[in-house]
Structure 1
Amino acid sequence: MNKRSLGNLETSRRAAILEAAKRLFAARGYHATSVRDIAAAVDLQGGSLYAHIASKEDLLWELVSRAAERFVGGAAAVEAEEPDPRRRLRRLVEAHVAVMTSDPANAVVFHHEWRALPPERRAAIAAQRRTYEAVFRRAIADGVRAGVFQVPDPKFATLLVLSLGNWLYQWYRPDGPLPPEAISARFIELIERALGACCVPPVEPARATASTGNDAAPPRPAGAPPRPNGGAA
């Protein structure tokens, strides 16, 4: 067997070990899962597992950090692409649900087992969680400034939004009655009502139009008093 084949075999074996660890950590918890349990799940002797991994902790770190990168990376992309705060928050919720539902076992490990990491690694994940939370908080704060959301405390509102989304790992099942798209739609409806945006249409992207020299007056907000005759204010 050549070096490339050996490398591919090792990569495949490590992926199988990581998958087994993920399932066991999600089902039993990190502390209740032994190295022997993980080895047995991939048909290895307990001691043989260390030929492929450095420690059980490294498996947890890889699973948790991989999930953190997906959450933070997806949110950063949405924030960079979407200036409208209401649309941004909608897309953030959709991205959050997508990560949670695309790999439910990893979502369980990320949300439930990350505190089992040692202090330095736990601090790194906590920092990523704060970065992720800040993206949601900025979307809500921008919406408040734009008059789209009606909440007195964007930070508290952010905790509400993420608490709703993070609890998904407790009840979501891939074979359940609601697909991820339907879950996102229901979450968005509830969140927008909670933020006071249920009756405010999202801002449409601006479209360039040729000037005629006789531009029409902008539309009046709903409930605004009528303009004076001929007035544009």
Structure 2
Amino acid sequence: MTDPAAPPESAAEAPAKTRREQIYDVASRLFSERGYHATSMRDLAGELGMQGGSLYAHISGKEDLLIEIVNRAARQFDAALFTLRDDPRPADHKLREAMYRHIRVVADNMESATVFFHEWKHLSPAAYARVTAWRDTIDTFYRELVRQGIDEGVFRQDLDVKMTANLILSAVNWTYTWYRPGGTLTPRDVAEGYADMLLGGLRAPEEG
């Protein structure tokens, strides 16, 4: 029998974060606010109330943090978007949903999204190459959606697939530069507004 004095499940405290998780959270915030190069290990340690040397018990170095922040963001986008590949809906509906999911990942993770889109260029060559390879998979995903729409007759036959995918990606990726959680627009509002504008130019003209 449920104890009536117990707090509801929704009010239960979230499990405490590990020290490593705390380090990643603080690194995401500082890298997004100050930039990767302008943030020192001493800055990170100070924010966490740790001695500088103590950080190395949890991470191998500052780039380890940047790589993990970028990798985590990439996994979030993958989980949000790639399940749509087998979605049976027509391409225009799938594109609208993809834009919403993409923007939702950004809006729910503003600090790490800022690091992901702005600071990834500071990665070492091997890690940089992995990110550029990942970006190609996202580009391919949106190109496939555009191509599907053309093949279905939903989108105009004269569309340049590459340029169209680049336009869509520019819209959703750069949301991190201006969107403010808690403002008047929800992620769904932003996605619907973008989709309405873009699809107006993508859709094939109606016959008759």
- TM-score grouping bracket, smaller chain normalisation: 0.7 to 0.9
1:214 corresponds in structure 2 to none
Asked if the contact 2:28/2:115 (under 8 Å) is kept, the reply is yes
CA deviations on 1:138-188 (whole Å, 9 max, x unpaired) are: 110111122211242111000001001111000011122101111111011
2:169 corresponds in structure 1 to 162
Asked if the contact 2:91/2:146 (under 8 Å) is kept, the reply is yes
Count of aligned pairs: 193
Deviation at 1:15, TM superposition (A): 0.8
- Is 1:174 the counterpart of 2:184? The answer is no
1-structure distance, mates of 2:124, 2:47: 25
Aligned with residue 76 of structure 1, among 82, 99, 113:
82
TM-score for the superposition, normalised by structure 1? 0.78
Tell which structure's C-alpha radius of gyration is larger: 1
Question: Residues 82 and 70 (structure 1 numbering): CA distance in 2 closer, same or farther, change over 3 Å?
Answer: farther
Query: What are the equivalent positions in structure 2 for 1:50-61 lying under 5 Å apart?
Result: 50-61=56-67
Asked if the contact 1:101/1:180 (under 8 Å) is kept, the reply is yes
- Is 1:152 the counterpart of 2:159? The answer is yes
1-structure distance, mates of 2:39, 2:154: 47
Q: Look up the equivalent residue of 2:163 and give its one-letter code.
A: F
2-structure distance, mates of 1:95, 1:180: 9
Name the Cα RMSD after superposition: 1.7
- Is 1:35 the counterpart of 2:57? The answer is no
- Is 1:196 the counterpart of 2:203? The answer is yes
- Is 1:91 the counterpart of 2:84? The answer is no
CA deviations on 1:50-107 (whole Å, 9 max, x unpaired) are: 1111111010011001101111232210112235211211111111011111111111
2-structure distance, mates of 1:24, 1:65: 17
| Higher RCO (CA-CA < 8 Å; seq separation 6+) | 2
1-structure distance, mates of 2:88, 2:29: 35
Structure 1 unmatched ranges of 5 or more: 1-7, 201-221, 224-233
Q: Look up the equivalent residue of 2:63 and give its one-letter code.
A: E
More helix by share: 2
1:211 corresponds in structure 2 to none
CA deviations on 1:103-155 (whole Å, 9 max, x unpaired) are: 11111011001111101111111111110110110110111122211242111
- Is 1:64 the counterpart of 2:70? The answer is yes
Identity of aligned residues (%): 39
Asked if the contact 2:159/2:202 (under 8 Å) is kept, the reply is no
Give the secondary structure class of the aligned counterpart of 1:167.
Answer: helix
Using the TM superposition, name which of 71-80 and 98-107 deviates more.
Answer: 71-80
1-structure distance, mates of 2:37, 2:113: 17
2:146 corresponds in structure 1 to 140
Asked if the contact 1:26/1:106 (under 8 Å) is kept, the reply is yes
Q: Look up the equivalent residue of 2:162 and give its one-letter code.
A: K
Q: Look up the equivalent residue of 1:18 and give its one-letter code.
A: Y
Question: Residues 13 and 192 (structure 1 numbering): CA distance in 2 closer, same or farther, change over 3 Å?
Answer: same
TM-score for the superposition, normalised by structure 2? 0.87
